[in-house]
Amino acid sequence: MKNQDAKLLALAVVTSTAFIACNPLSKMVKRQSEVNYELTPNPVEMHGDSIAISLSGSFPTKYFNTKVSAVVTPVIVYGEQSTEFAPLKLKGEASEEEGTVINYEKGGSFSHTAKIPYQEGMDVATVELRVTGKYKTQTKDLDPRKAADGTIITPKLVMASDKAILGADKFEKFTLENNNAEIHYVVNQSVVRGSEMTDADIKDLKAKIKAYQSNPKMEFNSLVVDAYASPEGEISKNENLANERAASGAKAIEGLLKSAKVEMAEGFSKLNGKGEDWEGFKKLMTESDIKDKELIIRVLETYSDLDKREQEIKNLAATYTEVAKKILPVLRRSQLNLVMKHHNLTDDEIKTLVDTKIDSLDAEQMLYAATLYDDVAKKESIYNSFATKFPQDWRGPNNIGYLYVAQNKLGDAKSQFEKALGLSADNAIVNNNLGVIERLNGNNDAAMEYYNKATGAGQEVSENMGIVNIIKGDYAAAVSNYSGVNSFNAALANLLNGNNSIAGTIDGSADKDEALAYYLKAVAGARSGDKDMLVNNLKSAVSKDASLKGKAKRDAEFIKFKDDAEFQAAVN
């Protein structure tokens, strides 16, 4: 009996050994080092709110048994947690399982893409490939293989530099006011006749000069004189005549100013002799009731040669007599414009009225007044006064909302912006500001909808779009939206889009002295293999913000430099 049991045990051992020897899974385990795997990117990257990977590889000849199947599962391991990517299924030619077919005799290649949501803590991680083979009812795990080390989360550096936009004032420090008059001349003469200086327009100009002299808000700015000759006679003579009329007209008005004791700086008078006035001639002819005026206008349009044009008009003898009587004398003139600079309220005057009689300010003065103060409470008080006095002007609630955004009172800001939009439907500035509220509340899609309605509101809209682009992983669009802008986020967008030459963009920005600005340049140094750039900027970054030491130690951007002595010195 004992001998029989011994024989049965020996037979079982031999059978089991034979099965194991024939089991193709064992051969696959034995030759697993011959399988090629490549996972990209390595380190993996957070892109938008996800981590996407691309896995490719190949099997050697006579490796993948025709009846074997396998499941390849990429797994990201971080701390004590792990998350599986969607698995890749492979099978031999005779396997009844699902999957990509791998030829036994020739071997074969495979590719696979997968994505998982990014979770906090995945920045320090490894990605390993876990493979389970199956043959009939048997399964066997191959050794896990590390395929990537670390997760780049540089997009999370994006600054919350969302830009709301004020409803701007249209306040002008001064306005220019024109005061026009004309002096007419006898044919071929440039002398100003006494009768011209008693015309109504000259008398009116004299009265204005006197009034301006007693008004401290008025400043004599310039005298502009445009003088003409009528289109008759020699062209060169008329050109000189126009210049002489400009000089005599200016002298006449300057005499009035001197009599009023107005001081005139050098270059006060600007003289323009304009020669023969054919344009004025055509205009007066068109407006006249002269017989054959259409024929004369046709002559003007037909002949570009001025001498020929004049001769053809003179050939219309009877008509020309009427033209010489009604049209030509009006064209012999100097047009005079005394330009006055009307000064608005000074900043000090406006501030005084803010404190004593704010309701006396007009809309533009009141909005401008708010720009004269740094105190947020004072600004808000002025905008509230504006909204009360001008309740139909969208800029009141919009600008109050602007102040609330800066104070992170997002709910109050949104209410004000919605009120502003009610006063000015489809207002691009208000739509931008509502987009800022949505973005700061984490509603990126809603923010972009508002930004798309804000076209024309200013560069701020494009920069706000760029923030959303970075968050959503659309780096090319972000670069486009930050075109021509020097800022931290502009540099970040370029870096994420593959451009490591970002130092100039940062150094030319208002963010250049921020700790993160130096940190980002250190990242650019790591990506471009410039250790000096990495180390020097990292030292500057941690000197401004010591917490960046811990971040740098974890950051997969520096994974190739983790054991470098200079890097270690910078972060310890």
How many domains does the structure of the chain reveal?
2
Instruction: Determine the 3-state secondary structure of 223 from DSSP.
Output: strand
Amino acid identity at 562: K
For residue 155, give the DSSP letter. G
Pairing of strands 88-91, 100-101: parallel
pLDDT at res. 480: 97
- CATH number at 207 reads 3.30.1330.60
Dump pLDDT digits (tens) for 63-91. 999 999 999 999 999 999 999 999 999 99
Mean pLDDT of 389-403: 98
Dump pLDDT digits (tens) for 85-102. 999 999 999 999 999 999
In a domain, 337, yes or no: yes
User: Residues 43, 76: contact at Cβ < 8 Å?
Assistant: no
In a domain, 433, yes or no: no
Angle between helices 395-406 and 363-370 (to 10 degrees): 10
Q: Identify the CA nearest to 163 among candidates 368, 427, 431, 464.
A: 464
pLDDT band at 259 (very low <50, low <70, confident <90, very high): very high
Number of H helices, E strands in the chain: 24, 16
Q: Mean pLDDT across the chain, nearest whole number?
A: 93
Residue that terminates a domain, selected from 343, 375, 403? 343
In a domain, 364, yes or no: no
Q: Which residues of 321-332 are buried (b: 16+ CB within 10 A; e: fewer)?
A: ebbeeebbeebb
* Whether residue 7 has pLDDT greater than 60: no
Residue that terminates a domain, selected from 290, 312, 343? 343
Mean pLDDT of 1-28: 49
Dump pLDDT digits (tens) for 112-150. 999 999 999 999 999 999 999 999 999 999 999 999 999
Mean pLDDT of 356-380: 97
pLDDT at res. 70: 97
Cα distances from 152 to residues 85, 242, 490, 555, in angstroms, run 17, 76, 19, 7
CA–CA dist 246, 227 (Å, integer): 5
* Whether residue 9 has pLDDT greater than 60: no
Dump pLDDT digits (tens) for 502-538. 999 999 999 999 999 999 999 999 999 999 999 999 9
| 135 and 180 assigned to the same domain | no
Q: Which tokens sit at 431?
A: 């739509």
User: Residues 176, 305: contact at Cβ < 8 Å?
Assistant: no
* Whether residue 293 has pLDDT greater than 90: no
pLDDT at res. 22: 61
CA–CA dist 21, 29 (Å, integer): 12
| 321 and 219 assigned to the same domain | yes
In a domain, 75, yes or no: yes
* Whether residue 484 has pLDDT greater than 60: yes
| 215 and 272 assigned to the same domain | yes
| 102 and 195 assigned to the same domain | no
Pairing of strands 269-276, 218-229: parallel
| 143 and 221 assigned to the same domain | no
pLDDT at res. 387: 98
Length of the chain, in residues? 572
pLDDT at res. 299: 79
pLDDT band at 5 (very low <50, low <70, confident <90, very high): very low
Q: Which tokens sit at 231?
A: 């289109």
| 101 and 194 assigned to the same domain | no
pLDDT at res. 475: 97
| 232 and 86 assigned to the same domain | no
Please, which residues have CB within 8 angstroms of residue 289's CB and are 6 or more apart in sequence? none
Q: Identify the CA nearest to 370 among candidates 342, 392, 341, 396.
A: 396
In a domain, 230, yes or no: yes
Q: Which tokens sit at 542?
A: 């941690």
Q: Identify the CA nearest to 423 among candidates 458, 395, 453.
A: 395
| 311 and 256 assigned to the same domain | yes
- CATH number at 88 reads 2.60.40.10
Q: Which tokens sit at 237?
A: 């003579």
Pairing of strands 68-78, 100-101: unpaired
Dump pLDDT digits (tens) for 39-52. 999 999 999 999 99
pLDDT at res. 317: 57
pLDDT band at 17 (very low <50, low <70, confident <90, very high): very low
| 92 and 184 assigned to the same domain | no
Dump pLDDT digits (tens) for 199-232. 999 999 999 999 999 999 999 999 999 999 998 8
Domain limits for position 127: 26-152
Amino acid identity at 62: K
| 143 and 188 assigned to the same domain | no
In a domain, 546, yes or no: no
* Whether residue 3 has pLDDT greater than 80: no
pLDDT at res. 11: 32
User: Residues 516, 157: contact at Cβ < 8 Å?
Assistant: yes
In a domain, 404, yes or no: no
| 184 and 333 assigned to the same domain | yes
Residue that terminates a domain, selected from 310, 343, 376? 343
| 330 and 243 assigned to the same domain | yes
In a domain, 446, yes or no: no
